[in-house]
Amino acid sequence: MKKTISAIIIILIIAFIWGNSYQSKSDTTHFSMFFTTHIQILLIKIGLHPNLNIMNTYVRKLAHLTEFMALGAIIYYTFKQFFKTHIGKKSILLAICIATLDEMIQIYIPGRTSSGIDVLIDTTGSIIGILIIKGLLKLKLH
C-alpha cells in the first residue's frame, strides 16, 4: 500500500511538471507573474524595489527547484522501499531523466525553449530533496 501511494505521488508530480511544460510561453509567464507581482508588493512594503522581469526569472527558476525538490524526496522515499543499495544515485538518475524529458517537451511547444541550465537547477532541487528526506528518515530511526 505504501509503495503504491508513493508511486502515485511520483506520477502526480511528474504530471504537474510536464503539464506546465506543455503550456505556451505566454501562459506560463502569466502564471509566474501572478506570484511575482504578489512577492514584489511584499518587497516594496519592506523598502525594496526589485525589477519585475528580473524577479520573475528568479521566481521561475525557484519553481523548478522546488518542484524537483519534492520529486527527488518522494523518489528517494519510494526507491528506499524497493532497493537496498545506491538509492541516492538511482534517485538522482531518474530525476535527471525526468528533467531532461521536461526540457525536451518544451522544444516542441510554441515560444518555449529547452535549457541545460534548467536541467541543472532541477537536478540540484532533486539532490536537495533527497538530502532532506534522507536526513528526516535518519532522525525517525533514532
CA distances from 28 to 8, 45, 76 (A): 25, 26, 29
- Residues 6 or more apart in contact with residue 125 via CB below 8 angstroms: 64, 65, 66, 67, 68, 69, 71, 72
pLDDT tens digits, 122-140: 999 999 999 999 999 999 8
CA distances from 73 to 38, 82, 99, 106 (A): 28, 15, 15, 24
pLDDT tens digits, 60-109: 999 999 999 999 999 999 999 999 999 999 999 999 999 999 999 999 99
pLDDT tens digits, 12-48: 999 999 999 999 888 999 999 999 999 999 999 999 9
- Residues 6 or more apart in contact with residue 121 via CB below 8 angstroms: 61, 64, 65, 68
pTM comes to 0.90
Domain ranges (residues) in the chain: 1-140
Dihedral sign from CA coordinates of 61, 99, 14, 25:
positive
